[in-house]
Amino acid sequence: MSEIKNIGLITSGGDAPGMNAAIRAVVRTALYYNIEVTGIMRGYEGMINGEFFPMNRKSVSNIIQRGGTILKTARSEEFKTKEGRQKAFDQLQKHKVDSLVAIGGDGTFTGAKIFIKEFGMPILGLPGTIDNDLIGTDFTIGYDTAINTVVDAVDKIRDTAESHDRLFIVEVMGRDSGLIALRSGIGVGAEAIMIPESKTDINALFKRLEKGRKDKASKILIVAEGDDAGGAFEVAEKVKEKFPKYDTRVSILGHIQRGGSPTCMDRVLASRLGVAAVESLMEGRKGEMIGVCNGKIHFTPFKNAIKHISEVNPSLLKIVEILSL
Ligand code: F6P
């Protein structure tokens, strides 16, 4: 058992629905075990600038259902420098913080990994990103909410597409990852999805559209923002050129995917991970991201968690093809 007395808590990188549920779980679990929690605003940036405050039961009341993060978030350039990290460490010492829980994505864990190496501070990470692109967890906090937001939006687009016999190209988030596109694409019955993990063959896409049922009124193509064919507008140009008869429209869903009240799945995931983070720090663990794999809590060293996922489950891609007949 390790003598953890004061856990610093940050959210960092892009926000994700369910981060607040994770914050609540960390704070309440720490208090349960008589450990103090220091909230740090704006991620590593706030750590450098000394934006610290003590957290209690009340500071996390009525937040489990709220999107965003009450601790706010930022992407810090200064933390990438040795001087910046030294300033952050000095601030932690000044506020008697002896351990950290960092909720975020690959940038957050890359920073944490270097910080542990330089200062030896025990840090554990919780996967908080809508992109679901971290190794060592089946799902990240925020992903389920984001794909449900996409499904909700595209169902609405489908109504109007069907009424006008239109083809819609819908762009979803995922600068480096197609996992939002993949699952939401299956969920909305998309005709095709385009993701960065698989090379988009635009001619194969055209063939599929040609082969597709002629009596099908609406068509939905889901494009991940990082796809190699370009964004939705570029794909639309190519489709219009090839099929001038299609009444084609573009819809870019954008940051609505990052907001909103977390789904129950995300709240439960965040709660489980928050409890595990505190208990694991007490057990002396550090340098790991905590996830859930096959229903069980799973630990992955930061260096492995941040390796980019370059492949998606091919059977899910095949499902899109089979079911879009
Ligand atoms: O949170 C991850 C992510 O949503 C990516 O999919 C997206 O490319 C990126 O964040 C955009 O973030 P921002 O607008 O904050 O730069």
Tokens of 284: 């002396």
* Cα–ligand 1 centroid distance for 13 (angstroms): 9
6-142+262-305 folds as: Rossmann fold (3.40.50)
Determine how β-strand 6-11 pairs with β-strand 166-172: unpaired
pLDDT of 273-313, one tens digit each? 999 999 999 999 999 999 999 999 999 999 999 998 888 99
Give 237's contacts (C-beta < 8 A, 6+ positions apart): none
pLDDT for residue 208: 83
Helices and strands in the chain: count of H runs, count of E runs? 11, 11
* Cα–ligand 1 centroid distance for 56 (angstroms): 31
Q: Which of 135, 152, 104, 108 is nearest to 261 (CA)?
A: 152
Rounded CA-CA distance 28/275 in Å is 8
pLDDT of 5-37, one tens digit each? 999 999 999 999 999 999 999 999 999 999 999
Listed by start position, the domains of the chain span 6-142+262-305, 146-258
Atom of ligand 1 nearest to the CA of 173: 6
Ligand 1 site: residues with CB under 6 angstroms?
14, 129-131, 173-175, 225, 258
C-beta atoms surrounding 19 within 10 Å: 30
Tokens of 291: 């996830």
Instruction: Give the active site residue among 15, 98, 106, 131.
Output: 131
Cβ atoms of 188 and 154 within 8 Å: the answer is yes
pLDDT for residue 213: 64
- In the numeric block, the tokens 């952050």 are attached to 88
Whether 6-142+262-305 and 146-258 share one fold: the answer is: yes
Determine how β-strand 219-224 pairs with β-strand 123-127: unpaired
At 5 the three-state DSSP class reads: coil
Rounded CA-CA distance 303/293 in Å is 18
Tokens of 317: 């891609």
| CA distances (Å), origin 34, targets 61, 113, 204 | 18, 27, 60
Report domain 146-258's class.
alpha beta
Q: What is the mean pLDDT of each run of 10 residues along the chain (325 residues)?
A: 90 97 98 98 98 97 98 96 98 98 97 97 98 96 98 98 96 96 97 93 87 78 95 95 94 98 98 98 98 98 91 91 85
Rounded CA-CA distance 205/236 in Å is 12
C-beta atoms surrounding 139 within 10 Å: 19
Supply the residue whose CA is at minimum distance from atom 13 of ligand 1.
14
* Cα–ligand 1 centroid distance for 218 (angstroms): 29
* Cα–ligand 1 centroid distance for 270 (angstroms): 20
Supply the residue whose CA is at minimum distance from atom 1 of ligand 1.
14
